[in-house]
Amino acid sequence: MFTLIKKNKNNPLFLWFVFLFIVLVVYGKTTANYFVSDDWHFLWLAKDTSWSWKIFATNYEGGNIGGSYNPILIILYKIFFPFFGLKSSTYHFLSLLLHTTNGFLVYHIARKIFDVIKLSSQKSWAIMAAILFLLWPTHAEIINWIAAWPHLWMTTFYLSSLLFYFKYKDSQRAKHFFLSVLFFTLALFTKEVAISLPFVILIWKAYLQSVKKEKYNFSLKNLGVYFGTLAIFLALRYKFIGLLFGYYGKKSLGISVGDWAGNLGAFVSDFFTFGYLREIFFKVWYHHLETVAIVVLISFATYFYWTLIKRKYDYGIIILTFLLTIAPTLPLGLHRMTFAGERYLYLPSVFAIIFLVALLSRRDWGYKYKFFVVAGLLFLCTMVLSYKNFVWQNSSEISRQIVASYKELNLETNQKLISVGLPDNLLGAELFRNNLQQALELNYPDSYPQITHLPIYTQLNPNNKNENLLTWRQDRVGWFAESVDGGYVVTGQTSITISGIYFELWNYNYQNYTANTIRLMPHADIIDSILSGDTKILTYDKGKLKIVE
Residue 537 bridge partners (DSSP): 418
- Look up residue 236 and give its amino acid: L
Look up the pTM and report it.
Answer: 0.93
Query: If pLDDT is split at 50, 70 and 90, which confidence band does 246 have?
Result: low
pLDDT digits (tens, 9 = 90+) for 174-206: 999 999 999 999 999 999 999 999 999 999 988
Query: If pLDDT is split at 50, 70 and 90, which confidence band does 141 have?
Result: very high
| Residue boundaries of the structural domains of the chain | 2-389, 403-547
Give me the phi and psi of 426, to 5 degrees please: -120, 100
Give the pLDDT confidence score for residue 60 in this predicted structure. Answer: 84
Residues 325, 351 contacting (CB under 8 angstroms): yes
Burial class (CB in 10 A: 0-12, 13-18, 19+), 281: buried
Residues 202, 231 contacting (CB under 8 angstroms): no
Q: Is 535 helix (H, G, I), strand (E, B) or coil?
A: strand
CA-nearest of 240, 196, 280 to 69 is 240
Provide the strand spans (E) within 360-506.
416-419, 422-426, 429-430, 450-453, 456-460, 470-475, 478-483, 490-492, 495-498, 501-506
Query: If pLDDT is split at 50, 70 and 90, which confidence band does 134 have?
Result: very high
Cα–Cα distance for residue pair 133/111, rounded to 1 Å: 14
Cα–Cα distance for residue pair 533/409, rounded to 1 Å: 14
Q: Is 215 helix (H, G, I), strand (E, B) or coil?
A: coil
Mean pLDDT along residues 390-406: 95
CA torsion through residues 173, 104, 272, 150, sign: positive
Residue 385, CA distances (Å) to 102, 133, 135, 227, 509 in order: 18, 12, 7, 38, 30
Residues 373, 180 contacting (CB under 8 angstroms): no
Cα–Cα distance for residue pair 421/542, rounded to 1 Å: 12
Residues 484, 476 contacting (CB under 8 angstroms): no
CA-nearest of 200, 173, 195, 199 to 184 is 195
Query: If pLDDT is split at 50, 70 and 90, which confidence band does 311 have?
Result: confident
Cα–Cα distance for residue pair 107/92, rounded to 1 Å: 23
Mean pLDDT along residues 413-435: 91
DSSP letter for 426, please.
E
Cα–Cα distance for residue pair 447/133, rounded to 1 Å: 45
Query: If pLDDT is split at 50, 70 and 90, which confidence band does 251 have?
Result: low
Burial class (CB in 10 A: 0-12, 13-18, 19+), 381: buried
CA-nearest of 309, 330, 313, 353 to 263 is 330
Give the pLDDT confidence score for residue 338 in this predicted structure. Answer: 85
pLDDT at 519 > cutoff 70: yes
Cα–Cα distance for residue pair 250/270, rounded to 1 Å: 24
Give the pLDDT confidence score for residue 133 in this predicted structure. Answer: 98
pLDDT at 116 > cutoff 60: yes
Cα–Cα distance for residue pair 86/389, rounded to 1 Å: 21
Mean pLDDT along residues 73-85: 95
**What's the angle, vertex CA 77, arms to CA 71 and CA 82, rounded to 5?**
135
Give the pLDDT confidence score for residue 42 in this predicted structure. Answer: 95
Q: Is 434 helix (H, G, I), strand (E, B) or coil?
A: coil
Give the pLDDT confidence score for residue 72 in this predicted structure. Answer: 95
Residue 247 bridge partners (DSSP): 250
Look at 18-27, 91-100, 316-325, 361-370 and tell me which has the smallest mean pLDDT.
361-370
Give the pLDDT confidence score for residue 419 in this predicted structure. Answer: 95
Residues 153, 42 contacting (CB under 8 angstroms): no
**What's the angle, vertex CA 223, arms to CA 221 and CA 226, rounded to 5?**
115
pLDDT digits (tens, 9 = 90+) for 1-45: 555 555 555 677 899 999 999 999 999 999 999 999 999 999 999
Residues 391, 427 contacting (CB under 8 angstroms): yes
Residue 475, CA distances (Å) to 181, 416, 519, 530, 540 in order: 63, 22, 10, 13, 21
